[in-house]
Structure 1
């Protein structure tokens, strides 16, 4: 019954249900984890801007000829990472998010926008060098997503916004993370890498003014990448390309599956980092969807752009793993 009420409220606010549900429009927390361990006592700070444009309407794998719906997420992400030893480190990720949804129909335009502090992630990591051969580093991590952001924002009419437009999720999540990198023998400056993140989502028990329980679907994300390095104008450039797979399971309201949520995506992500100084690095990347298969009808990503900087405040001159 409460699921029917949620759908009814969606129409009262003038927004079709399938334009609300979107599994790739939120804060890209998992997408920005994985600061390197630079040795005992090192402290790295990163600041990134992330722009996510969703202007593609899909029904399953089919792209619909409908550009009347636009979803944009602007995020500012602050990373901090501290290495207690050459193997053991901790990483924290904080977010600020602005989300907007525009629907143009019959000559009218409806804009919904939210802004605020988003959720945060704490990740404890452990590095194991040469465990799978020389020039190989395996990292594992466990963490949690803390619901720092608000999840009870309302429209001007007083209706609580749906979960996908809230700055926060209102729930604690558990995170598992693993990554591996290996030097490429035929090219000493190149590295192959792979990583995977799984988010076990919690429940927001105060959804819709404490009348419902909302649970985002679990999310699996996996990346495989190639990075090289070359020197130009006495500056180190690191170009790379990443193939990313993302699977989002269906959301639930009061243990019932919510229509038009969940799906699978494959992205191609060219990226470039520039080491301006030994401690200061510029990073950019563009994420382009190569395959989208959504459940039902949903807006799905059109293009994503991320740019940022990182700075090593306390670099260990003896940067060798124990």
Structure 2
């Protein structure tokens, strides 16, 4: 009887993925998207607080957009980033999250909403910088760390059935995270910087999935960014506009070591950014992310637009050891 119940749950999940075209790799908490605090020098503490809105209202089959707006996913996230530099080379960074996810399905004039809210997973990194390795005004930084499963992964609907992994605030698994970032000031324009980053996330397995009846593993993920930023002054304020091209690839998810349909894919985004230095130690940041290309495995919801706004504080030690 227990084996039959397990089979029924997994079968329901399988056909639910096909019928509702859920997305397990485009929604959720934007962890990799918000890593990479700079090293501002020995004794500097950076604190960032931001709000991230991710709207998924585009249904794709492969790279083809389908004429179907009956499915909607919205993810609202609050992100807290904390970084500290022990020296001009060695620093640590952490990212803590709170997430609200809403899925709306419209059929025959009726709407069905499914919503979860809670603390999400967190990331902890140790980073080491190599200044001037590519010439003056250049920095290469390497980071390694882990994503810790702080968020819940066992929310259920009122009928007692556990929600699928893509709607849970947490993943229920430890992941390995690696980061390489670089920046280079441009000689022909001293105020401009060319930057790039590469993030790799090797996912672990949630062995307690669906009330301990299955093992779930999100697909491994890579993300690469290439960007150009500049600087100008206006109204006694320094502004930093930028333009980023982002590539993201997620492998298919697995359940009990079997590939899960309608998960995984590749995306290319364009991301205009703008920050404003309100004071020497206080910065307002904003960015808009729009898809240029999407290819998903099977049929999935894929991002329509994403917007992030936040603030960044920089606290530095004086020689007497007091935070300024």
Match of residue 297, structure 1, among 296, 299, 310: 299
Q: Deviations over 1:61-88 (max 9, x none)?
A: 0000000000000000000000011100
Cα gap change, 1:46/1:316 in structure 2, threshold over 3 Å: closer, same or farther? farther
Deviation at 1:114, TM superposition (A): 0.1
Hey, what does 2:10 align to over in structure 1? 6
Taking the aligned partners of 1:292 and 1:25, their CA distance within structure 2 comes to 14
Q: Extract unaligned runs of 5+ from structure 2.
A: 320-324
Hey, what does 1:320 align to over in structure 2? none
Question: What SS is found at the alignment partner of 2:162?
Answer: coil
RMSD over aligned Cα atoms? 1.6
Question: What SS is found at the alignment partner of 1:20?
Answer: coil
Question: What SS is found at the alignment partner of 1:158?
Answer: coil
Deviation at 1:38, TM superposition (A): 0.9
Match of residue 129, structure 1, among 128, 131, 150: 131
Taking the aligned partners of 1:149 and 1:220, their CA distance within structure 2 comes to 22
Cα gap change, 1:290/1:36 in structure 2, threshold over 3 Å: closer, same or farther? same
Deviation at 1:7, TM superposition (A): 3.8
Tell whether the 8 Å contact from 2:220 to 2:250 is kept in structure 1 after alignment.
Answer: yes
Match of residue 239, structure 1, among 241, 244, 262: 241
Taking the aligned partners of 1:198 and 1:9, their CA distance within structure 2 comes to 28
Matches within 5 A, 1:99-138: 99-138=101-140
Match of residue 28, structure 2, among 21, 26, 29: 26
Deviation at 1:19, TM superposition (A): 2.6
Hey, what does 1:48 align to over in structure 2? 50
Q: Extract unaligned runs of 5+ from structure 1.
A: 318-322
Deviation at 1:16, TM superposition (A): 5.5
Match of residue 283, structure 2, among 281, 284, 287: 281
Hey, what does 1:81 align to over in structure 2? 83
Tell whether the 8 Å contact from 1:18 to 1:297 is kept in structure 2 after alignment.
Answer: no
Taking the aligned partners of 1:227 and 1:316, their CA distance within structure 2 comes to 30
Q: Deviations over 1:3-41 (max 9, x none)?
A: 774242576xx8854432331101001100111111111
User: Aligned residue pairs: how many?
Assistant: 315
Q: Deviations over 1:139-181 (max 9, x none)?
A: 0000100000000000011000000000000000000000010
Match of residue 183, structure 1, among 164, 182, 185: 185
Taking the aligned partners of 2:154 and 2:210, their CA distance within structure 1 comes to 7
- Using the size of structure 1 for normalisation, the TM-score is 0.95
Tell whether the 8 Å contact from 1:57 to 1:64 is kept in structure 2 after alignment.
Answer: yes
Deviation at 1:237, TM superposition (A): 0.2
Taking the aligned partners of 2:95 and 2:29, their CA distance within structure 1 comes to 11
Deviation at 1:315, TM superposition (A): 5.2
1:308 matches 2:299: no
Tell whether the 8 Å contact from 1:38 to 1:316 is kept in structure 2 after alignment.
Answer: no
Tell whether the 8 Å contact from 1:285 to 1:307 is kept in structure 2 after alignment.
Answer: yes
Taking the aligned partners of 2:295 and 2:182, their CA distance within structure 1 comes to 28
Taking the aligned partners of 1:140 and 1:3, their CA distance within structure 2 comes to 44
Taking the aligned partners of 1:83 and 1:3, their CA distance within structure 2 comes to 51
1:141 matches 2:143: yes
Taking the aligned partners of 2:64 and 2:317, their CA distance within structure 1 comes to 50
